[in-house]
Structure 1
Amino acid sequence: MKRNVVLVLLALTMAAAPLLGMGQAAAAPKIIKISNGLNEKHPVLIAQGEFKKIIESRLPGKYEVQVYANSQLGDDVRATEGVRMGTLEMVNTTAAPITGLVPEFNVFDLPFIFSSEKEADAIFDGPVGAKLLALLEPKGLKCLAYLENGFRQLTNSVREVKTPEDLKRLKIRTMQNPIHLAAWKALGANPTPMPFSEVFTAMQQKTIDGQENPIPTIYLQKFYEVQKYTTLSGHIYSPFLLLINKKLFDSFPPEDQKVFQEAATEASKFERQLNRKMNTELVAELRKAGNIVTELTPEQVALFRAAVKPVYGEWVPKIGPQLVAEFQKAAAAAK
């Protein structure tokens, strides 16, 4: 009798073994890849390390967040399309790749619409920012958070730039963005769209004279090695958008969605603080490296603002006068 019981138990154990293996396979963590075009030392990548830590600690064993730098998974345009189509889970991108889908996002590219980080925060963390993000969802994208790219500054290898007159005939790399192109043409430069990954070599080979990006990007990409002059023009404030495929996000249990949202919000706050601290420190480092850094006076900034005024006349009707007015009202209230 005892022998029969042992045989039955052994048979049950052997029968259950494949099922146990199936359970273990099903419990493998879901891989979440995040594409970035930035250097791994950039505040955004550091903040995504925090995002990863929060997700994996609060939802142990359920998700593995993999952060990719330097356009390893493709440039922002390709990666954003991958997230839309569901072939990639997440991307950190500027607004540029989505303006074709949601034209309202062009509002971020209007030159000098922000004059401080405080104004930008008022938009991102308020109802106007939320209204914009809601427009992404019918396009298959869910934005978990705005992160900070920052105020874009000008560098070049030819001469110090203090007024629009100094920009004449300078070949400046820009993003493939119609407002950016219009703004630089209005300022007298020769804007040249180019993938970010090609910029350093193009400046090194004198294919272009300069480029424009926030200070952390300028320093961490070592653009100062091939650019002698930096002008703190602050002409455009550029956010990053932390995007996830909408269907994927909707497939998560509600408690997991909550953790992803909380992790993104915490990472965003962390990144903005770090980016602003680094911005101040790296301007000093640029000077130490021999870069000639020019700070514009209010009178000089006024000249740049006046030169790009026609851009507003062309683009505000396309973006939506009401949205632009809401932006300007919220920014003014934050001053």
Structure 2
Amino acid sequence: MRKLLVAAIVALATCPTWAWAAPDMTLNLGLVGGPKAPEAIAMGQFAEEIKDKTDGRIEIRVQGGGALGGDREVIEGVQLGTVDMTVVSTSIVVNFDPDFAILDIPFLFRDFDHAQAVLDGPIGKELLDGLPQKGLVGLAFGGMGFRELTNNAKPVKTPDDVKGLKIRTQQNEMHIAVWRELGALPTPMAIPEVYTALQQGVVDGQENPVGAIINNRFGEVQKYISLTDHAFTPLVLLISPSVYSSLSEEDKQVFATAAKNAMARNRKEVDAVLTSGLETLKSQGMTVVADVDKAAFRAKLGDIYKEFAKRFGEDRLKAIDETK
């Protein structure tokens, strides 16, 4: 017994503290994506890096699938301090900070690289710097990719094909205005409700990046996917101000680095989904409509673009367009 006791004491003495000690801080990170969603995988990496770089002092519990509520509810929780962190589409953040609406302008970004350059540049920094005034702290931007339109009624190739379609949108004023301008009947709805709404015909279709379409199983209840690429969907990693202010300067830097690395991982996962995603949707019985007249969609939105220029400033829009 004495030898066993000595061996146990030696084992404990040589064991790294983080391997057995309880964390000093445990944070809940809520998101609506399922476990295979790119952002969920990225947040898993984020949690691992935080645990590793803080020697186990800080633990992040990633709770996906809407376990803590829809996007809007989780952001409200971060504001109130009932939820510690979340990663969300900036299209939902617009409800809390209207300045983010500039990122929702249709056909604003040429490709993912262009979008990331803008988000990591002066305009992205300006947006993050404004969040504390809204009761939020932003750590990093990423993206879910470009949004595509799915529906059960017909193949959509031109704006005329959209007329009369009941399209689920995010709870976002600009998204609603754009689809209304195109002649659709936009229906705001939280993502956890969409599958059933599509299945029961409450709405004809929805619009999301390919990864989100797959991870939410919309291919099971939709017939057509049109590659409209009508809008890029940025992501932002948010943390409660009360939590952030409690971190040491060293830990804040750890969070910033881990957040940036997580968004890079998210990009890789999005690219991987795009490589195989359309084949997956085809295997589920969806028809892929690739010959979409994007120029016609832009032309149809001509009047609303004039409103965007007045609202956000022609100089800012020019700066985005010229970002490389």
The two structures have a TM-score, normalised by structure 1, of 0.87
| Paired amino acid for 1:243 | L
Deviation >4 Å, runs of 4+: none
Name the counterpart of 1:324: 317
CA contact (8 A) 1:170 1:209 kept: yes
TM superposition shift of 1:284: 1.6
Task: Report whether the alignment pairs 1:224 with 2:219.
Answer: yes
Shift of 1:289: 2.4
Equivalents in 2 of 1:289, 1:78: separation in Å?
A: 32
CA distance in 2, matches of 1:135, 1:307: 33
1:133 to 128, 137, 140: 128
C-alpha distance in 1, partners of 2:23/2:155? 56
- TM-superposed CA distance for 1:27, in Å, is 6.7
| RMSD of aligned alpha carbons | 1.6
Give yes or no for the alignment of 1:171 onto 2:166. yes
The 2-side partners of 1:38 and 1:278 are apart by: 14
Percentage of matched positions with identical amino acids: 38
Q: Which amino acid aligns with 1:177?
A: N
Q: Tell me, what secondary structure is at the counterpart of 1:233?
A: coil
Structure 2, unpaired ranges of 5+: 1-20
1:310 and 2:324 matched: no
Deviation, 1:64, is: 1.2
Q: Secondary structure of the equivalent of 1:208?
A: coil
Equivalent position amino acid for 2:193 in 1: E
Deviation at 1:52, TM superposition (A): 0.7
**Pair 1:90 & 2:85 matched:** yes
1:236 match: 231
Which residue does 2:102 correspond to in 1? 107
Is 2:71–2:190's contact at 8 Å kept on the other side of the alignment? Answer: no
TM-score (norm 2): 0.90
2:263 maps to 1:271: no
Q: Check the 8 A contact 2:162/2:184 in 1, yes or no.
A: yes
Question: Could you say what secondary structure the match of 2:228 adopts?
Answer: strand
Structure 1 equivalent of residue 8 of structure 2: none
Describe the shift of the 1:30–1:224 C-alpha distance in structure 2 as closer, same or farther (beyond 3 A). same
SS in 1 for 2:231: strand
Partner of 1:152: helix, strand, or coil?
strand
1:179/1:315 contact within 8 Å kept:
no
Residue type at the aligned position of 1:301: K
Question: Residue 72 of structure 1 aligns with which residue?
Answer: 67
Greater CA deviation, 281-290 or 189-198? 281-290
Residue 119 of structure 1 pairs with residue 91 of structure 2: no
Aligned-partner SS, 2:96: coil
Q: Which has the larger radius of gyration?
A: 1
Q: How far did 1:296 drift?
A: 3.0
- The one-letter code of the counterpart of 2:307 is E
Distance 1:309 1:35 in 2: 38
Q: 3-state DSSP class of the match of 1:235?
A: coil
**1:55 equivalent among 30, 33, 50:** 50
TM-superposition CA deviations, 1:67-101 (whole Å, max 9, x none): 01111111111111111122211011112333243
Residues 203 and 119 of structure 1: CA distance in aligned 2, closer, same or farther (over 3 Å): same
* Cα contact 1:148–1:238 (8 A) shared by 2: yes
Aligned-partner residue type, residue 235 of structure 1: H
**2:313 & 2:130 partners in 1: Cα distance?**
14
